[in-house]
Amino acid sequence: METRNKDGTWPSAQLCGMNNMPDEDEDFQGQPGICGLTNLGNTCFMNSALQQCLSNVPQLTEYFLNNRYLEELNFRNPLGMKGELAEAYADLVKQTWSGYHRSIVPNVFKNKVGHFASQFLGYQQHDSQELLSFLLDGLHEDLNRVKKKEYVELCNGAGRPDLEVAQEAWQNHKRRNDSVIVDTFHGLFKSTLVCPDCGNVSVTFDPFCYLSVPLPVCSRRVLEVFFVPMDPRRKPEQHRVVVPKKGNISDLCVALSTHTSVAPDKMIVADVFSHRFYKLYQLEDPLSGILDRDDIFVYEVTGRIEPVEGSRDDIVVPVYLRERTPSRDYNNSYYGLILFGHPLLVSVPRDRFSWEGLYNILMYRLSRYVTKPTSDDDDGDEKGDENEDEDVEDDSSSEEEKEEMSGPTDNDGTQESEQEQAGTSSGVTGRCPSLLDNSLHTSQWPPRRRRKQLFTLQTVNSNGTSDRTTSPEEAQSQPYIAMDWEPEMKRRYYDEVEAEGYVKHDCVGYMLKKNPVQLKECIKLFTTVETLEKENPWYCSSCKQHQLATKKLDLWMLPEVLIIHLKRFSFSKFSREKLDTLVQFPIRDLDFSEFVIKPKNESAPDLYKYDLIAVSNHYGGMRDGHCTTFACNKDSGQWHYFDDNSVSPVNENQIESKAAYVLFYQRQDVGRRQSQTASSETPTSPASSSTPNSDIMDVN
């Protein structure tokens, strides 16, 4: 046999070194309940949910402190934890409310939770609401007064009065589930399903332990993009545009058009990653595919990526920039080439779609940060190439071909300015060989030139990593071109600082204001009609098939302590995000009378009014974060801020914040009854009359 210590611990646990009490707290005397929990390693979610929120539910804490649980432990319930979870929680509550500890190390409880719920094994970060759900269910089964559960059929309305069906459903629930958890936390829903085909209505009443209410989601979002104009004299512009969350790429182009005065049909949107086009979007693609961390570039063009047959629009060519490295190339695999800079989308007129024309267009587009070689550079560097060209040229080459390869010249024998050659469509005016002729099949262009070329051009795959021997049909559908630079040429003529430069549009300073949301708005949204998803259809007993029925949840009966979980974490096919919307919730007099559809008892208005007693907070994002708690001490009525083993008093005006995640409300009639009981008893704590610390911490 073993007898508990006065603080609720077991002698055997102390002998095994598993006691939760730090040695330095043996002589400490403080206010009961003002006790922290040591973080064992990412266990702040556990500290916040079980100890500092659940422990401050007065009726549940009194139940354990007065040892009433000992008579109701259910050791044979196959759905329970053999009473071990309830005993471990009772030990923790007794130590917390003994007044002898500043903080407790919850090793024993953590081990029990991990033993019965493998998802909480180890020391990974978890969701405080998920642990709370497991704990309430586990305590209920460990303390269930029903030792043998009988079979109960599901109760359906079948046209009967709601009052009769609800009473029958609650009685059936109590026949299988009867515990302090049910008495304190369980309420009743009314669920109404309507078949869209035959109009069949199904009404059921289901118990609940907490409300998971959605937050009104803003229908708009702000996207940060870079606009790349065709005019090479203008730097790229950074913009912030407001777009509909469920819109398409075309909506992004329309929004950007108001800032740039460029027509939406003259824009192409691309996701640029690691110096290449990760994705080229179509106008009908959804905006949900763009994440906030993506680098989105919007290019001004005069055509489309995939030209329509018979169309006179320009052809848009994706162009990558690559630099040769000292390593050699083998078998046309570019281990010696690395991508750099931002890729381009270049508009090329159909009748100017040639290697020479493309080179001139690129020189024009890059003229802001690429310097043209001077005549002195040509004289000094190209003599060897010229002699080599003379050796390899055959006499069969016509004068016309030589003129075409040399490019347009003026009276002085120098090349015309790229701007003049580009013309209105950024093309060239000279007659040049087509990009789709035999020159396309060569490994590089130009293979031989008398005039200095800053870079060579090469058809590549969509990643720009390897050459591609392209047929005319493939080139016409989707030509990817690479500009290959020698290191010395890049150093002399390419200005990297200027190439990376951009300007910020006035709209960059715009921030989408998020108006605060009232808690009642969330509850109202919870009770609105919704259509079931395709993954979760309802079987209609009249149609004899699964239907996407409409569903409506209503509140029929509320519990003594109402737990409201704010669904801050949003999951979709493309993204996961946390909603940091400020939800404004009342600390006193939260009135649910407008949401409860059960016929009201007008003589007892306290049955629908609640006061806040605890808040579990979540700071941070999806993968990381920290949980803390605001809780009202049941004895003193003073609010405290619990941050693991740190506890400090706070004012009520500090409780409301964007981090609020789980709210605990107590019905006013229950709170008033407990206050009357407490006032008739003599305080036993040596610190019950102590004044709180005047240092108030700012936690918002």
Give pLDDT tens digits for 580-612.
Answer: 889 999 999 999 999 999 988 766 767 889 999
Total structural domains within the chain: 2
Q: Do residues 224 and 348 both lie within one domain?
A: yes
Q: Do residues 104 and 236 both lie within one domain?
A: no
Banded model confidence at residue 2, pLDDT cuts 50, 70, 90: low
Prediction pTM value: 0.65
Average pLDDT over residues 182-190: 95
Q: Do residues 365 and 500 both lie within one domain?
A: yes
88 within some domain:
yes
Q: Do residues 354 and 503 both lie within one domain?
A: yes
Of the candidates 35, 44, 253, 522, the residue annotated as catalytic is 44
Distances (CA, A) of 361 to 346, 497, 584: 8, 22, 58
Q: Do residues 234 and 131 both lie within one domain?
A: no
Distances (CA, A) of 281 to 183, 227, 241: 56, 15, 17
Q: Do residues 257 and 348 both lie within one domain?
A: yes
390 within some domain:
no
Q: Do residues 127 and 230 both lie within one domain?
A: no
d(CA 133, CA 111): 18
Q: Do residues 238 and 107 both lie within one domain?
A: no
Q: Do residues 139 and 246 both lie within one domain?
A: no
- Provide Rg for the chain, Cα atoms: 36
**Of 460, 486, 509, which residue is a domain's last?**
509
Structure tokens at 491: 């150093």
Of the candidates 259, 275, 505, 626, the residue annotated as catalytic is 626
d(CA 429, CA 419): 10
What is the percent of the chain where pLDDT is above 70? 75
Average of per-residue pLDDT values in the chain: 78
**Contact between 579 and 217 (Cβ < 8 Å):** yes
More confident residue, 308 or 42: 42
Q: Can you give the residue range of the structural domain that contains 131?
A: 30-144+179-186+617-654
Lowest mean pLDDT among 37-41, 399-403, 544-548, 569-573: 399-403
- According to DSSP H, which parts of 410-503 are helical? 418-422, 472-477, 487-493, 496-499
501 within some domain:
yes
Is 44 a catalytic site residue?
Answer: yes
661 within some domain:
no
Average pLDDT over residues 83-107: 90
d(CA 406, CA 410): 12
CATH number, domain containing residue 240: 3.10.20.90
Is 155 a catalytic site residue?
Answer: no
Q: Which of 473, 477, 433 is nearest to 457 (CA)?
A: 433
224 within some domain:
yes
Q: Do residues 132 and 42 both lie within one domain?
A: yes
Q: Do residues 233 and 354 both lie within one domain?
A: yes
Which 8-state DSSP code applies to residue 403? H
DSSP 3-state of 499 = helix
Banded model confidence at residue 385, pLDDT cuts 50, 70, 90: very low
Q: Which of 20, 22, 80 is nearest to 51 (CA)?
A: 20
- Convert the pLDDT of each residue in 233-282 to its tens digit: 899 999 998 898 888 999 999 999 998 989 998 999 999 999 999 999 99
673 within some domain:
no
259 within some domain:
yes
Q: Do residues 114 and 227 both lie within one domain?
A: no
Which 8-state DSSP code applies to residue 354? S
697 within some domain:
no
CATH number, domain containing residue 632: 3.90.70.10
